Amino acid sequence: MSDFTLVVVDTAKIQPYIFGSNRLRENVGASHLVHLATGGWLKSEPETLLPPNHNVVEGTLPIKNGAGIEAGAFDAEVLYAGGGNTAILFRDETHATAFARKLSERVLCEAPGLDVVIWRQAFAWQASLAAALDVAFKQLGKKKREREFTHPLLGLSVTAACRSTGLPANKERRPPGEADFIPLSSTALAKWEQNEPAKRRLRRELLHLSDGRSAFAADFNFPDDFDHLGRALGEQSYIAVVHADGNGMGKLFDTLNEVYLTRSGDGNRAYITKLRDLSEQVNSLGQNALREVVRKVWEWNNIAVKDGGPLLAPFEDDQGQKYLSIRPIVFGGDDVTFVCDGRIGLWAAQTFLEQFSQTPIQLDDGPRTLHAAAGVAIVKVHYPFARAYELSERLCKDAKSEMGRERSTLDWHVAQSGLFGALSEIRTREYQQREDGKTKHSLLMRPLLLNNANGQWRTWDNFVQIAQELRDRERWPRNKVLDLRSALTDGPAAVSRFVANYRGELPLLSHPPLGNTQYRQMGWHQADDQNRAVYFDAIEMIDQLLPDATMAQSAKEVQQ
C-alpha cells in the first residue's frame, strides 16, 4: 500500500532557451523563468500550486514541532526546490495531479517555450525515500530523452517575424535607448517582462536588500544590454562569458544517497534533513562567491568613478545612470554563469573560485573544502551569445578534465573572430607544434590552478606575475614583448637566441617548475612528452587583462 505520491520536476533544452538570444534582457529573463518554474513560484506563491496544508513558510521549508508529512503534519511537503529541479511528497494523489496541472498551465501561460518535465510515482514511507528519488530521477531522465518536443506553429498568411526567435510576432516593444519598435513572439516577450523581476531577485538574494538598492552599489544599476557592460564609443569592446561549476557535486549527493538507500521510516526523515542541509550549504557557497564577485566589480567601477581614471569606467547612459560592469545570468547552487567586461573576465572568475573554496561545508565526517572550475570565453560584444556560452562551458569541463577535481582551476579562450572547429582542434592547430612526430610543443600555460602546490608552476600567481612584469615598459618595451611572442611560436631554440640577443633573462616565477632552472633562458618547461611555453599566455592577455594593482593585491589577500 502506498502512503504518498512522489513528484519530481525538471526542465529540458535549457541552454537554447536561456542563451539562444543576443539580447541580454532576454537571457536574464529566460533564466529567471527557469528559476520560477523549478522552485521560485513554489517558494514565493505556494498557495497557487499546493494544497493549503503545506510546509513552505516565507520561502523556507520548516517542519512542525519536529513532525513532517509522515506524521500527518502536511498534505504536501516540499523536500527541496532549487538548483534546477524540485521534489515534493503529496499525501493524496489528487493533490499531486492538481499540482502537475497547475504548474503546467502556469508555464504555458507565463513561460511559453520553456519545456518542463514532471514525473509522479507512488511511495510508501516504509520504503527508502533515497531509493525512490533515485528511481524517480532516472525515470524523469528517460522521459526527457523519449518525449516528443512540440513544434511551434509558424505564421499563417502575412505575419511579422520575431527579431529574437524567428517565430510569428505577437507584440511590439521598443528597446530602451532605441527609436524603433521591434516585433516579438510570446516566448521572447515573456522573457522581456521578467527582466525587472529578475533584477529584484538578484538584489534580494545577492545583496540582501528588499528595497532594490544596495549599500555598496547604490549609485549603480545592473545592465540590461551587452553594450552597457563597459563599452566605450568608437572602441572595439569585448565581453567575458564566465561559466563556473563545482567539482564533484554529483558525487557528494550520490554519497549521501548511498548511505540512505536501505533506510526507511525514521531514516527517511533523517535523509530529508541531510539533503536539505547539503543543498543549502552548496547554494550558499555559490551565492556568497558570486556576491563577492559583484562587490569586487563595484569596487573596481567605483575606483574609476572617484579617481576619474580609465581603469574600469562604468557605462553611463544619457540620464546619468551608471551600470556595473557585470550581470549574473544563472545563479543558485554551484552552477553559475555571468557576463562582464572582457578586461575583468579572468579577475572575476578568479575571485569566484577563491571565494567558493574559502568556507568549508560541514559533513558527517567533518569539514570539507570544495573546489570549482571556471571557463571564460572572451568575445566581441555582438558575438553569437549561444556559441560564447558553449565555449565557456567546454573550457570549464576541459579544465576539470586536465587539472583534476581536487583543486580549483581556470581556463579561457579569446575568440578574435568566429570559431572554426572544436576547441581541441583550434588549440592543436593554433597553439601546438610537434617534433619528430612525438614531442609536443604547446604554447599554452593554461588551464591554471588557483592555488599554489609544490612543483606546480601553471598557477594563477605565476600568470599574474608574468603579465605585470611584461607591462614594465622600461624593461619590456612593446616591440621586445612582440619579439618574445614571435620567438615562442618558433620554439625553445628561437627563445634562446632571443635571450642571447637581448642579453637578459626572462621574468622569474615565484613558483618555478621543479627541476627546471633553464626556463628563463629557453622560455619553455618540459614535462613527460610535452614542452609548454611559460610566457605566451601572459603576452596574449596583456591587452585583455586590466593591469590594476588593487586587483593583484586582492588576489594575494585571498591567497593569504
pLDDT at residue 93 greater than cutoff 70: yes
Tell me whether strands 326-330 and 336-341 are parallel, antiparallel or unpaired: antiparallel
**pTM for the full predicted model:** 0.91
Q: Within this chain, do residues 235 and 334 fall inside the same structural domain, yes or no?
A: yes
Domain membership of residue 552 (yes or no) is yes
Separation CA 509–CA 463 (nearest Å): 9
Percent of the chain surpassing pLDDT 90: 58
Q: 550 or 35: which carries more pLDDT confidence?
A: 35
Q: What was the pLDDT predicted at 440?
A: 74
The pLDDT tens digits for 349-385 are 999 999 999 999 999 888 999 999 999 999 999 899 9
Q: What was the pLDDT predicted at 439?
A: 61
Domain membership of residue 199 (yes or no) is no
How would residue 390 be classed by pLDDT, with cut points 50, 70 and 90?
very high
Query: Number of structural domains, the chain?
Result: 3
The tally of CA atoms less than 13 A away on the side-chain side of residue 70 is: 17
Range 483-509 average pLDDT: 90
How would residue 454 be classed by pLDDT, with cut points 50, 70 and 90?
low
Q: Within this chain, do residues 108 and 233 fall inside the same structural domain, yes or no?
A: no
Nearest to 336 by CA among 296, 414, 284, 378: 284
Q: Within this chain, do residues 238 and 366 fall inside the same structural domain, yes or no?
A: yes
Cell readout for 474 is 622600461
Q: For residue 174, what is the DSSP state?
A: -
Domain membership of residue 241 (yes or no) is yes
Instruction: For residue 509, give its domain range.
Output: 460-559
If phi > 0 it is left, if psi is from -120 to 50 it is alpha, else beta; for residue 83 that is left
Burial profile 241-280: b = 16 or more Cβ within 10 angstroms, e = fewer: bbbbbbbbbeebbeebbeebbebbeebbbebbebbbebbe
pLDDT at residue 556 greater than cutoff 50: no
Domain membership of residue 452 (yes or no) is no
Separation CA 130–CA 136 (nearest Å): 10
Q: 65 or 506: which carries more pLDDT confidence?
A: 506
What is the CATH classification number for the domain harbouring 392? 3.30.70.270
Domain boundary among 146, 172, 202: 146
Q: Within this chain, do residues 292 and 224 fall inside the same structural domain, yes or no?
A: yes
Q: Within this chain, do residues 241 and 389 fall inside the same structural domain, yes or no?
A: yes
How would residue 528 be classed by pLDDT, with cut points 50, 70 and 90?
low
Least confident window among 50-54, 326-330, 387-391, 416-420: 416-420
pLDDT at residue 199 greater than cutoff 80: yes
Q: Within this chain, do residues 215 and 292 fall inside the same structural domain, yes or no?
A: yes
Q: Within this chain, do residues 25 and 94 fall inside the same structural domain, yes or no?
A: yes
Domain membership of residue 189 (yes or no) is no
Q: What was the pLDDT predicted at 387?
A: 94
Q: Within this chain, do residues 411 and 474 fall inside the same structural domain, yes or no?
A: no
Q: Within this chain, do residues 343 and 478 fall inside the same structural domain, yes or no?
A: no
Q: Within this chain, do residues 233 and 375 fall inside the same structural domain, yes or no?
A: yes
Q: Within this chain, do residues 464 and 414 fall inside the same structural domain, yes or no?
A: no
Domain membership of residue 22 (yes or no) is yes
Q: What was the pLDDT predicted at 128?
A: 96
Domain membership of residue 491 (yes or no) is yes
- The amino acid present at 204, given as its one-letter code, is R
Q: How wide is the angle at C-alpha 342 spanned by C-alphas 421 and 339, nearest 5°? A: 85
Q: Within this chain, do residues 238 and 335 fall inside the same structural domain, yes or no?
A: yes
pLDDT at residue 421 greater than cutoff 80: no
Q: What was the pLDDT predicted at 515?
A: 67
pLDDT at residue 195 greater than cutoff 80: yes
The pLDDT tens digits for 207-244 are 765 444 555 666 788 999 999 997 655 456 899 999 99
Domain boundary among 115, 131, 146: 146
Nearest to 364 by CA among 285, 250, 273: 273
Range 37-55 average pLDDT: 95
Domain boundary among 146, 172, 199: 146
Range 66-95 average pLDDT: 91
Domain membership of residue 437 (yes or no) is no
Range 193-219 average pLDDT: 75
How would residue 554 be classed by pLDDT, with cut points 50, 70 and 90?
very low
Q: 527 or 93: which carries more pLDDT confidence?
A: 93
